[in-house]
Structure 1
Amino acid sequence: MGDATPYQLIEGLARVCSRVGLSPPSGLARLTGGATMESWRFACADEGFVLRRAPSLAFMEGRPYGHEVEAAVIEAARARGVTAPEVVAVLGPDDGIGSGFVMRALPGTPNPKEILLFDEADALLRQAARDLARIHSIRPGAVPEAVPVMNYRAAIADLRQQFEEAGGDRPIIALGLKWMEDNCPDPCAPVLIHGDYRMGNLLAEAPGRLTGVLDWELAHFGDPHEDLAFGCMAVWRFHRYDRPALGLGSIADYFAAYEAEAGVTVDRERFRFWTIYRTVWWALGCLKMAAQWRSGADRMLERVVISRRTSEQELDLLLLLEEDAPEEERERPLDPLWKRAPRKGEADRAEIATAVSEWLVTLKEQVKGHDRFQLAVARNALGMIARELEPTQNYENPAQADSFLRGSTSLSTPEVLKGLRQDALDKVSADSPKYPALAVARALWSESKEVIE
């Protein structure tokens, strides 16, 4: 059941709560955020609960398993001492509110901007490493058989298919796919992978206490380095780009805490592979958000805006891949910036988009909850429109992407790296001008500040 009203949800929750011996629900409120699933908080008597729910039944089609299996994975993790929420009920067809489950609410905030300002970030980092090691202590057989075991080569092939279905025209993603095909590691003994272990899916309280590990829908069995790498991606450090481990501290401290709990040694080369793999994975995941919106499976505004975060991942991916480029290519300076002449006539589309965005600010105090979040997303969308109306280059380039996939062109080819750098800077400047890695890349690549009128 998609697009259920709050009244329909509270009716369905009443049936769920009655079935598991809880008092009638009250105070239903939509929680902000959530790129895939919905979250609704409510109370039964004096106790708080959270409903985690798919936006529609169609949204669950094609997934390896449903919410019943996800709930079983969470309970298995709790049994190993992981700070995970207690699942009290899984939604059934008779409940009439779609696919999902209900869990007890945990204290703390999931807001990365708040957590990354905590005084004891180092203590929180150690706890996160501890819980991740405990997750990785779970082996096949401890959870339902529906939880898949990852085949690395098949996963790369699936990403390549996704790339082709999305147009096959983004050269930096193509470069990453080719690199993964050439550098795929041998399989290791599979352990349970959370699949989305990062800031944003961790609950914490000040000054530095981990209170919950959330969002288990991507759990599978595979290489533990995949989980380690994902949380250290630049995108999940938010405004703390300078702290590469979850935005909380150093990689060395994160690995040391993980190794102490897990009794293993982190392989740095495997860590790099999975950092590149997951950067490509998330870039394609962002692209797919637009397809979900177009299909009608989920018409949430976040979908179209998140699709434009692909360029952030391409910038991060290029920063990772260029380590293998020849020194002479890494030293090539970028071309001067171009500046558009000021407008003198009627307002153009960029100015109109800016004007609408400025008007939306006046509504901020009149909306609450998820609508307030949507208002911020809408302003971001208008900003993208305003900034990209006169792109300096054609960013989609199927011919170059194909040449990377075939191996006929690489970062060793003269001028290629320079062009990719400029394209990445142009695109992220339009899509996400406040993305922390953008300033880092500009400084690293010594972008010329000369402006040609």
Structure 2
Amino acid sequence: MGETESAGALDQGLARALARAGLTAPEGLRRLTGGATMESWRFSSGAEDFVLRRAPSLSFMEGRPYGHDTEAAIIRAAHRAGVTAPEVLVELMPEDGIGSGFVMRALPGTPDPRAILAMDDPGQLLREVARDLARIHSLSRESLPGDVPEMDYAEAVAGLAQQFDEAGADRPIIALGLHWLQANLPPRVEPVLNHGDYRLGNILAEDSHLTGVLDWELAHFGDRHEDLAFGCMAVWRFARVDRPALGLGTLEDYLSAYETAGGAAVDPARFRFWLVYRTVWWALGCLRMASFWRSGDDRMLERVVISRRTSEQELDLLLLLEDDAPEEERLRPVSPAAGAHQPSGEASVGEIATAIAEWLATVKDRMEGHDRFQLAVARNALGMIARNDAAATQAEDATLARDLLEGSASLATPGMLARLRRAALDKLAADVPKYPMLARARNLWMGED
């Protein structure tokens, strides 16, 4: 619970905040699952349901461009403008003693991407998503807090390069992506408000209708193409990688609906730049999750597990960039995967991890709520340990990464693309073998069904 010492302390602090909004003390407070950064707690007050959004610790807010007061003001402005945003009722104060955050009125619908993707009319939902994004991009500076930052594209790319260096500068595919971004930086356009995290997982839907847009902590002024591209990343399409627009439909339908709803015409080159940018951004974001855990700011299990999802973005990034390689390199065969290590003698690390995961499966029915979710995360982590112990993978290569970042090696280098493809396949198979793009990449690169 971050810096909160007990459930009772959270109840008491939240009651103080609710009293300022004329609401009664919370009832049935429970932690919601998910959320890569902030915590969400659902509760009742009177006859209505509400959600508390807060940081896992006060130190977790350090270094962020703005605090929860600004985030709350952005959401209020979007709500007034007809965006399907929640109604913010009250912000936490230091005297509440439960950290930084705010309370929102709960909205109907589910955030579960798989439930949303199974709805009857994904095309209708896609049009409503495009409409809301156009409304967000139409918000004026005057209606928003003065400390909402504007992205400088060059500074943003330089910031990614610095993160890469701090993370060890040893991932060749990320280095390739950084070099591409530096070489393809677009000119500045008139900025609009970007939601910054507009994707499945951060929207609510019910009966194929959009009912809410959540998680505004990354909102900033910048290129509208960044928002449009982010939700189209393969990772946010979940099981429907065949539907490029948020897993809901085609890019043509999505961008057409956006323009029809008042959004400006979309430039394909700028869209591709921001798709690559955000893929590099999330790859490095995953890596940073491990540093949050190591620092002690947030020792949640999800942090270390999410850090291993870097391999998803490395594979996706290679799929985005390989079209720039010469045809002979794209056609060069990828070497077969190395055989798995077969242990003998005493149990290997991987076998111990498997044994623990199997035991956890026998107790999962005794868990509920966030504890059950954490148990699933723990079993996922143990699976990663077991697969990495058995596989012969090598994702880190500081020398090759430096050569790709500096441009002395590239996808035109004979055998480079095939080498990177093999490394990406092996690492992802060990980390997240059920990631949908892995099967697609194997089919494209190896001819495997």
TM-score, normalised with respect to structure 2: 0.98
5+ long unaligned stretches in structure 2 = none
Say how many residue pairs are matched: 448
1:145-199 per-position Cα deviation (integer Å, ceiling 9, x unaligned)? 1110000000000000000000000010000000000001001100000000000
The 5 Å alignment of 1:232-251 reads: 232-251=232-251
Counterpart position of 2:338: 338
- Quick check: 330-339 or 428-437, which moved more? 330-339
Tell me how far 1:264 sits from its aligned partner: 2.0
In 1, Cα distance between equivalents of 2:435 and 2:369: 25
Letter in 2 for 1:130: R
Tell me the residue number matched to 2:254. Answer: 254
Alignment match, 1:11? 12
* Corresponding residue number in structure 2 for 1:435: 435
Bigger drift between 134-143 and 163-172 goes to 134-143
In structure 2, what is the equivalent of residue 104 of structure 1?
105
1:224-261, Cα deviation, whole Å (9 max, x unpaired): 00001000000000111111111111111101100101
SS state of the match for residue 262, structure 1? coil
Give the 3-state SS of the residue equivalent to 1:125 in structure 2. helix
- In structure 2, the partner of 1:321 is 321
Q: What is the identity, as a one-letter code, of the residue corresponding to 2:281?
A: W
User: CA offsets, 1:113-139, max 9 Å, x none?
Assistant: 111100011111100000000000013
Q: CA deviation at 1:438?
A: 0.3
Contact kept, 8 Å, 1:335 with 1:448, in 2: the verdict is no
Q: 1:4 to 1:228 in 2, by over 3 A?
A: farther
Structure 1 residues 189-204: aligned runs within 5 Å: 189-204=190-205
Give the Cα–Cα distance (whole angstroms) in 2 for the partners of residues 326 and 413 of structure 1: 9
Question: In structure 1, how many angstroms separate the alpha carbons of the residues matched to 2:97 and 2:287?
Answer: 31
- Is the CA contact 2:340–2:391 (under 8 Å) kept in the aligned structure 1? no
Instruction: Report percent identity of matched pairs.
Output: 65
**Which residue of structure 2 aligns with residue 26 of structure 1?**
27
DSSP-derived class of the 2:412 partner: coil
Are the counterparts in 2 of residues 88 and 102 from structure 1 also a CA contact under 8 Å? Answer: yes
Q: Where do 4+ consecutive residues of structure 1 move more than 6 Å?
A: none
The one-letter code matched in structure 1 to 2:117 is L
Cα distance in 1 between the residues matched to 2:254 and 2:336: 40
Q: For 1:49, what is the secondary structure of its paired residue?
A: strand
Corresponding residue for residue 78 of structure 2:
77
Partner SS, residue 124 of structure 2: helix
Query: What pairs with 1:21-60 in structure 2 (closer than 5 Å)?
Result: 21-60=22-61
The worse-fitting range, judged by mean Cα deviation, of 155-164 and 356-365 is: 356-365
CA distance in 2, matches of 1:3, 1:181: 43
Name the counterpart of 1:300: 300
C-alpha distance in structure 1 between counterparts of 2:30 and 2:60, whole Å: 22
Match runs of 1:100-249 below 5 Å = 100-206=101-207, 208-249=208-249
Partners in 1 of 2:246 and 2:448 — Cα distance?
32
Shift of 1:391: 3.8
8 Å CA contact 2:339, 2:391 repeated in 1: no
Cα distance in structure 2, aligned partners of 1:4 and 1:271: 45
What amino acid does structure 1 have at the position aligned with 2:57? S
Letter in 2 for 1:216: W
Tell me how far apart the structure 1 counterparts of residues 415 and 140 of structure 2 sit (CA, whole Å): 47
Instruction: Write the distance in 1 (CA, Å) between the matches of 2:341 and 2:167.
Output: 35
**SS at structure 2 position matched to 1:389:** helix
Tell me the equivalent position of 2:351.
351
The alignment partner of 1:141 has SS state of: helix
1:373 counterpart = 2:373: yes
> Conserved in 1, the CA contact under 8 Å of 2:4 and 2:10?
no
Moved more, 343-352 or 97-106: 343-352
* TM-score, length of structure 1 as denominator length: 0.97
Deviation at 1:344, TM superposition (A): 4.9
Shift of 1:393: 4.0
What displacement does 1:343 show? 4.3
Task: Give the C-alpha shift of residue 56 in structure 1.
Answer: 0.2
